Structure 1
């Protein structure tokens, strides 16, 4: 039964890693990256390394995730807005 849990954990890690890399939406990529960090912390717990799991959860998912979300919000506010032109070309 433990091998099934470990297999699902590995599959979830691979899926979230691929989803974070291939996502075209930056916000979605950061959220998936945070989910990857949480899953990685669970993997470290399964490997009986609680100190590394705590560091991964705090730094990998927590601090890095917050910093990346802040960076995405700054990018979104700096992006120029495309205005629609009325009528034909001038």
Structure 2
């Protein structure tokens, strides 16, 4: 189980760097949503189901939808 946790944490680091380096804003939002999903899995593995559900609902659900609405009203790529 420790190896699985380590793999998830390494994935989080890679995803965080990918979000920062991505020029396409919609791609960055999708990658950020995967970051939130993995974080909720980690919280669940750490036996904090309330925090996991909150992360999944707010971090993945509401925040991703808000970002997509904002991007739809602006340009999609960075200059």
Same fold by TM-score greater than 0.5: yes
Segments of structure 2 that go 5 or more residues without pairing to the other structure are none
By relative contact order (CA 8 Å, sep 6+), the higher-ranking structure is: 2
**Over aligned residue pairs, what C-alpha RMSD do you find?**
1.2
3-state SS of paired residue (2:23): coil
Segments of structure 1 that go 5 or more residues without pairing to the other structure are 78-90
TM-score (norm 2): 0.91
Residue 76 of structure 1, CA deviation: 3.1
Taking the aligned partners of 1:12 and 1:43, their CA distance within structure 2 comes to 11
Q: 1:60 matched to which residue of 2?
A: 59
- Matched positions, count: 76
TM-score (norm 1): 0.80
Q: 2:30 matched to which residue of 1?
A: 31
Larger gyration radius, structure 1 or structure 2? 1
